[in-house]
Amino acid sequence: MIFLEELKQQLPQNYSFLEMVLDIYNLDFVNRYYLFLKENNETYGFFSKADSLRIASRHVYESMVYIYYLYSNLRVSRETSFLDVGTGPGLPGFLLYCLKETPKITLLDSSQRRLKILENFIRDMGYKDIKIVYKRVEEWYQRYDICLTRALIPFPFSAVLMSHVFEKYIAIFSANLPTEPFVDDYLKRYNLKIVKVYSVPELEFLGERQLILLSHIDKQKKMKPINWKTLRREMDEYYNSNSQSKGWSRKNNFDN
């Protein structure tokens, strides 16, 4: 299996955790998906030139580990509905379909360039029960049990962008977790709170990694989608006033 062969070449030599992660997946599906990413990366620009040499560890396995953490710490079943926001070529959302017990999955992205080729792959492989949505999240109004994202916009703004489309949790896969008081106060304005932050030491070979879980403060309050111009203005105001003094930058959460 090409995926496992190349992954083990890129991982530290302790494979005990790897075996636990792999145990919840249909590895044939994972391998097919990995080959799809490799074969189409150069044409469609899924990943940077540097990352093209470590798709197995830096993108596929990393997403697999995050999903493993979700399943280890939350009540998740076949009936759980997931929305992957800003999915691109399907990361991390398509890997939910590669689980041995597949939940309900919707992949959302406003850009058709990368997601369309994944949709074609899904059709050609005969995979079913994966919903594809070509929209911005602030234009989408259906609600899901869990919304997740891996590389959308920096936290906490990514959470606010998804505040209207989830019922139970937002799960953000992040390399940088701001801790100053601004974060909690800002989230509170949008009826959000951090429930738990999980460090992911098994991914330290890639750099610092966390899984951030959030929920609504008032679960009965229905949130409206935030206007992108409003969110962009709030981001600009924060970075202009705090980036130099507090070390924040506009860099994507996964620039590490």
pLDDT in tens, 12-68: 877 899 999 999 999 999 999 999 999 999 999 999 988 999 999 999 999 999 999
174 within some domain: yes
Domain that holds residue 107: 2-243
The larger pLDDT score, comparing residue 104 to residue 1, is at 104
Record the tokens describing residue 126, joined without a space: 């005969």
109 within some domain: yes
Residues 223-247 have pLDDT tens digits of 999 999 999 999 998 888 765 444 4
252 within some domain: no
253 within some domain: no
Rounded to whole angstroms, what are the CA distances from 217 to 11, 24, 236?
Answer: 39, 32, 26
The pLDDT score that the predictor gives to residue 182 is 85
**Mean pLDDT over the full length of the chain:** 92
Residues 168-215 have pLDDT tens digits of 999 999 887 877 778 999 999 999 999 999 999 999 999 999 999 999
Number of domains in the chain: 1
The pLDDT score that the predictor gives to residue 132 is 98
The pLDDT score that the predictor gives to residue 179 is 72
Q: Where are the alpha helices (DSSP H) in the chain?
A: 2-10, 16-22, 27-44, 55, 62-73, 94-97, 112-125, 157-161, 181-189, 228-246
248 within some domain: no
The pLDDT score that the predictor gives to residue 194 is 96
The larger pLDDT score, comparing residue 95 to residue 246, is at 95
User: What's the 3-state SS for 133-159?
Assistant: ECCCHHHCCCCEEEEEECCCCCCCHHH
| Least confident range of 19-23, 104-108, 208-212, 250-254 | 250-254
Residue 249: which pLDDT band, with cuts at 50, 70 and 90?
very low
152 within some domain: yes
228 within some domain: yes
State the Cα–Cα distance between residues 53 and 36, nearest whole angstrom: 15
- Whichever domain contains 7, its CATH number is 3.40.50.150
225 within some domain: yes
Rounded to whole angstroms, what are the CA distances from 247 to 155, 232, 234, 238, 251?
Answer: 14, 19, 17, 12, 11
